[in-house]
Amino acid sequence: MNYDVIIVGAGMAGLSAAIYASRAGKSVLVLESVVQGGQIINTINIENWPGDFRVSGAELMQKVYKQAMELGAKIEFEDVEKIEKLAKGFKVITEDDEYETKVVILAVGAEPRKLSKKQTDDVGKRPISYCATCDGALYKGRPVVVVGSGNTAKHETEYLKNIASKVYHIHHDDPIPKDAEAVFVAIGRVPATKKFAGLVNLDKNGYVVAGEDCITSCSGIFVAGDCRTKNTRQLVTAAADGAIAAEEAIHFLDNVI
């Protein structure tokens, strides 16, 4: 199936791009590897999204998703494994399928940073979680450990103290306590861009290099949201990027190719 625009990622950036591109009359497919909504969906209380004070991430993103779908965008839940440049447009290859499109918007966001090899070996067969709110209740009355030094790790530790029998709070690369039954990891996030390294320029931290116009080094590929080089990674900037990337993509479709 051929599309005008394929958007990789259904977080705030990808879904905002889908809203703008669909309203401009373009055929839009969003490809999402996990679930619509992106990294914000486990956050209970968002206080800085203008117009919706103290909304939950899940509720906010469900509204944005519904809006994009009602405006005509389609979504498939497939992990994009590879994008190939064709003479005209691109082939987007997922685990199950292949799609052709005239332009691509990368909105793949960021994923949790994984433990070092040494700590992973230490963990052995014990479960690893990246979200205390999602999985904490599974360890009621049992000892757990939180790995990480930043604010998120502190927040996860406080949250788990109300549930677990004991919460160890250790730093990246400290030994994992032997009696902890589950390991909660909060050591930052990394852009989910590895698969696109040969296609667009990435900076040394893996972010897709682009300015405020969201135009990448590859003609016909645009980038939006947390996976782009920028200083402020928030919902409003992801939404803004989505709009800008879509507008640039529309201009490219109407005037360049």
Ligand X SMILES: Cc1cc2nc3c(=O)[nH]c(=O)nc-3n(C[C@H](O)[C@H](O)[C@H](O)COP(=O)(O)OP(=O)(O)OC[C@H]3O[C@@H](n4cnc5c(N)ncnc54)[C@H](O)[C@@H]3O)c2cc1C
Taking the complex as a whole, the smallest distance from the CB of residue 35 to ligand X amounts, in Å, to: 7
Task: Please give the residues from 78 up to 117 whose contact with ligand X meets the rule CB under 6 A.
Answer: 79-80, 107-110
Question: Quick one: 77 or 122, whose CB is closer to ligand X?
Answer: 77
Verify whether residue 227 is a known catalytic residue: no
DSSP state of 89: S
Candidate residues 183, 192, 218, 223; the one interacting with ligand X per rule CB under 6 A: 192
Question: Quick one: 119 or 193, whose CB is closer to ligand X?
Answer: 193
Verify binding: residue 5, ligand X, rule CB under 6 A: no
Catalytic residue among 52, 96, 97, 134: 134
The phi and psi torsions of 165 (rounded to 5 degrees) equal: -75, -35
Verify binding: residue 235, ligand X, rule CB under 6 A: yes
Verify whether residue 135 is a known catalytic residue: yes
Verify binding: residue 40, ligand X, rule CB under 6 A: yes
Taking the complex as a whole, the smallest distance from the CB of residue 152 to ligand X amounts, in Å, to: 6
Sheet of 128-129, strand order? 128-129, 182-185, 143-147, 166-170
Verify whether residue 218 is a known catalytic residue: no
CA 247, CA 103: separation in Å to the nearest integer? 12
Length of the chain: 257
Could you list the residues that contact ligand X (CB under 6 A)? 8-14, 31-34, 38-40, 43, 46, 48, 79-80, 107-110, 152, 192, 195, 225-226, 233-236, 238
Q: Which residues are catalytic?
A: 131, 134-135
